[in-house]
Structure 1
């Protein structure tokens, strides 16, 4: 078996050659701004059609669709929490996004998956706090047997990339 891998890179999640990408979606799953809008534009109108049939998604949950015109075969849609100051269960909801997305990936025998920095854009989750939750959750998941061998955090900004690099080195020393 190959070594399981967690890494960060700066780039466009819609261009990643992985089996699945994760969409930081809103509760409707019908597209929006940021990563969500970019994924819907790149995948094409069939993604919106399939998402309409899913009847939305609760915060902290995840649902899977085809990738359509994306290089990725699958899109896992998860709804991160809006940051309210930290006293509304935001950390647990964000952790749940990663756990539920990874569980869906494993159920579908996905080997490689790319995540954006969920909730750190317009949902205002503090980047450093969100990064630690993300890296902790994926690292814990990879300790259990599953199909997943590679997890990539695709960072849009240099600041996010630097933050992920630092936290990965801190929490996953063998990376």
Structure 2
């Protein structure tokens, strides 16, 4: 389920301290019911399953293939336009307490690097010629007050000039109608499969 931006901005996430110049593009509820300490399980699921959620949908596979082909043709994804090239990593902005507890940059993803992880937040970043982006996974209590928790995913972006702004406008319908719904279904299936195999809930 897609949520209003305030579902992210109104919570006291640490990401606000280092990403004030990014805009919140999307916020989604994740179908990952669990307990207060289950963010680590969700992080592990992401790290093991990058690409699996997208692969579950032929339409999404096509969209990603087109994106990578365009990126190669137009030179959007050159290392010089990525983290440490066109833009510095957000890890350079971390306050001392987050820097001391930050994990390494590996995330299991070919495009995203971990910025930091806490008990209830996991922030990753990516960059190319079009945008500098953040994938933020938060772990929040259920609204019914029954003691359950679930994941929440926010996408934050800083477009790179006119090219980046046009790119974000162009891909918006594909993200909302295809990519994210398919990704969330895959996340939910993997979460339920993990619970069924004996993983902590």
TM-score by length of 1: 0.39
| More helix by percentage | 2
